[in-house]
A and B are shown apart, each in its own frame.
Chain A
Amino acid sequence: MTELSERLLLVDDDQSLNELLSQYLSGTGFDVSTVTSGEKAISLLQQDSSFDLLVIDVMMPGITGLELLPIIRSRWNIPVIMLTGRGEDIDRILGLEMGADDYLAKPCNPRELLARIKAVLRRTGEVSTEVAASIDLHGIRVDSGSRQATVGDEKLTLTTAEFDVLNELMKSAGSVVSREDLTCRVLHRELTPYDRSIDVHVSRVRTALRKHFEDRDLIVTVRGVGYQFAK
């Protein structure tokens, strides 16, 4: 049973919350471990890095979630969902900009967390099954087989979600992709009101492209609808 279920690691300094979440998520078939600090998370991962997903709280004493994220990114290839303080936009944006796969404002509905966990796992699981194809446009080459984006000879440094954003937009170059569709295709979940994560991912991609295309924005915002990649 345990070998089959997916393994989650919760990193949060609130032990009671960890226990409750662990009980909730275990009930839905996950194998959940918990640690109460960033330091403990690192030492656990050093012994056993076979987790399928990490859920990290931003606000922790000692190593904060925002400090932990780049450490984990640099050593292990495990998807991360960040739990940020509600209403603290700066943390939220930073979390995504540092390459978290998704974020969720805390306190959050556990069902919402479960949905996000499933979405991220589905997305990262799909990678290997996707049909290899590549698109060339404006000198940008997106290879969905190797999951690499290059401009000329230079590699673009993108997170999984950012790569997917670029890939999806380039697939539909010249037509508008709605935010709902983009959220669905990239983040594998429904768009909820006041959910801006897809916009943050898009703006990250824009910033990455701007280094090579200073004079023009290849991704156009179509107000009220979505985004369009220039044909």
Chain B
Amino acid sequence: MRAASSLFWKFFLAMWAGYVLLVGVAANVIEEQYETRYSQIEVSERYGPLATYIIARYEQGVDITRREFSQGQIEFESEDANNDLLVIRDMQRERVIFGNRSGAERPTNVDFPIVSETGARYMANVGIPPRRNPLPALTTPTAIATALVTTLLYSWLFTFILTQPISRLKEHVQSLGRGALDQKLEGRLMRRRDEIGDLASSIDEMSSYIQELLNSKQRLLFDVSHELRAPLARLQVAAGIARGEAEAAGANTAMHDRFEQEIDVLNALISELLLLAKTENDVGERHLISLVEELKTVVDDMAFGAPEREIQTQFSVDSAEIEVSVPLFSRVVKNLVENALKYSDGEVLVSLEQDETDWIVQVQDRGEGIPEEQIEAMTQPFTRLQSESVEGFGLGLSIAHRAASALGGSLKLENCETGGLCATFKLPKA
């Protein structure tokens, strides 16, 4: 469900409130019209000319009857006035000069005085038949509900049409933020010719640009590391020759040891850097594998490297088939286990579980863990704990993190409740 503060709700509520207000105003106007229909001024304006005409004829000695009106013998025409409803009384002679007294018994009577040109006073009475007040019908619960539902549906539809492409854009930008830069926007948004279409193509351009930047950064890292290896290989052989000559001459070779040692460090660093550069963009081919089997293989492999250590496994899943890039997957697990072996004593536990959406591989050690404030930074390249006395470049977890993301999964580090570091590697099932 959308957050209450979302654009959708703001638009929707504003629009709905607008419509409800509009309906309210309209109802008010109708009410007003209904009221004015009965006001003396309005009635005298409408019936005045007709009454004046009849009075003028009366003073000339001509009595006009309704029949004459109905037979069309009278030439006076008034669209506003209906002579059937009109009764005129001569106030001085106390007699009705037009119309029928019964007209006075109509439920709504409006009287207005008329003074003729001769100065005689008359009283006109218009009996208005009961008209249906339109409002009572509009204020029934059904009518109100209908109005509310109609405006709600209309507002919802309109808001949806307006905000839906924005939500799509938002989702797209979010996935860009998570690193899926190669993802392109769907054609429907790009083909729009309005501001949203412009925004969509701008976002697309931006993501291509960022992708290019990142690619060139990766490429540079890879190229530099790669190019460094050739002179390093020569340096290593040259050092070997120098050592041979020194040995032949019976000279001290302590410095040659040092040369070789530092060359080895450089070598290892370059290998790690190359791996880091490759991990992110080189997902490689995907194969269907059994997670359990693959984990066993990796753990066996690691156990060979550290025969004095105990690596426990605990698989609560029997069959977990998944299509992944095998080298990347085993790289994540390998680096996590390697990290655990390197920075802790005691046993290391590798477990496999599942929840509804993910396979969860956990690597736990019995070490001291990582101070909470540094835990976030551990996946950044060249981050090492200050207290560390063990050799390393601080690239292992960083490579694991990138490999996990490249697989579409995630890697989270936290200190276990039992002490030690607990690395959780989640891989989506589909």
Contacts and interface: CB of A to CB of B under 8 A. Distances in A.
Interface of A: 14, 16-17, 20-21, 23-24, 27, 85-90, 105-111, 179, 193-194, 196, 199, 221, 223-225
A85 B270 CA distance: 11
Interface in B227-248: 229-230, 232-238, 240-241, 244
Contact of A17 (B237, B270, B304): B237
Contacts of B232: 107
Which 3 residue pairs of A and B lie closest in terms of their CB atoms, listed nearest first? A107-B233, A87-B271, A110-B240
B43 to A, nearest CB: 100
Given A221-B300, A223-B300, A110 B271 contact: no
A27 B264 CA distance: 23
B274 A87 contact: yes
A194 B304 CA distance: 8
Contact of B230 (A14, A21, A105): A14
Given A221-B300, A225-B307, A109 B240 contact: yes
B239 to A, nearest CB: 8
A24 B240 contact: yes
Contacts of A225: 307
A179 B300 CA distance: 12
A87 B234 contact: no
B303 A90 contact: no
A87 B305 contact: no
Contacts, number: 72
Contacts of B307: 224-225
Chain B contact residues: helix, strand, loop or mixed: helix
Contact of A90 (B240, B301, B327): B327
A54 B235 CA distance: 22
A17 B327 CA distance: 31
A86 B305 contact: no
B112 to A, nearest CB: 105
B241 A23 contact: yes
Interface string B294-305: 000001110111
Interface string B162-198: 0000000000000000000000000000000000000
B272 interface: yes
Given A108-B233, A110-B237, A224-B307, 20 more contacts: A14-B233, A17-B230, A17-B233, A20-B238, A20-B241, A24-B244, A87-B272, A90-B327, A106-B233, A107-B229, A107-B232, A107-B233, A107-B267, A111-B240, A196-B301, A199-B301, A223-B299, A223-B300, A223-B303, A223-B304
* B230, B233, B260 interface centre (most CB from chain A within 10 Å): B233
Given A86-B229, A86-B270, A196-B301, A14 B234 contact: yes
Contact of A108 (B236, B274, B301, B304): B236
B56 interface: no
Contacts of B235: 107
Contacts of A90: 327
A190 to B, nearest CB: 15
Interface in B268-326: 270-272, 274-275, 299-301, 303-305, 307
A193 B236 contact: no
Contacts of B305: 193-194
B229 A85 contact: yes
Contacts of B241: 20, 23-24, 27, 110
Nearest to B304: A179
B260 A106 contact: no
Nearest to A13: B230
25 contacts: A14-B233, A14-B234, A17-B234, A17-B237, A20-B237, A23-B241, A24-B240, A27-B244, A87-B274, A87-B275, A106-B229, A106-B233, A107-B229, A107-B235, A108-B233, A108-B236, A109-B240, A109-B260, A110-B236, A111-B240, A193-B305, A196-B301, A221-B300, A223-B304, A224-B307
A224 B236 contact: no
B396 to A, nearest CB: 12
B234 A109 contact: no
Contacts of A110: 236-237, 240-241
A204 to B, nearest CB: 15
Contacts of B300: 221, 223
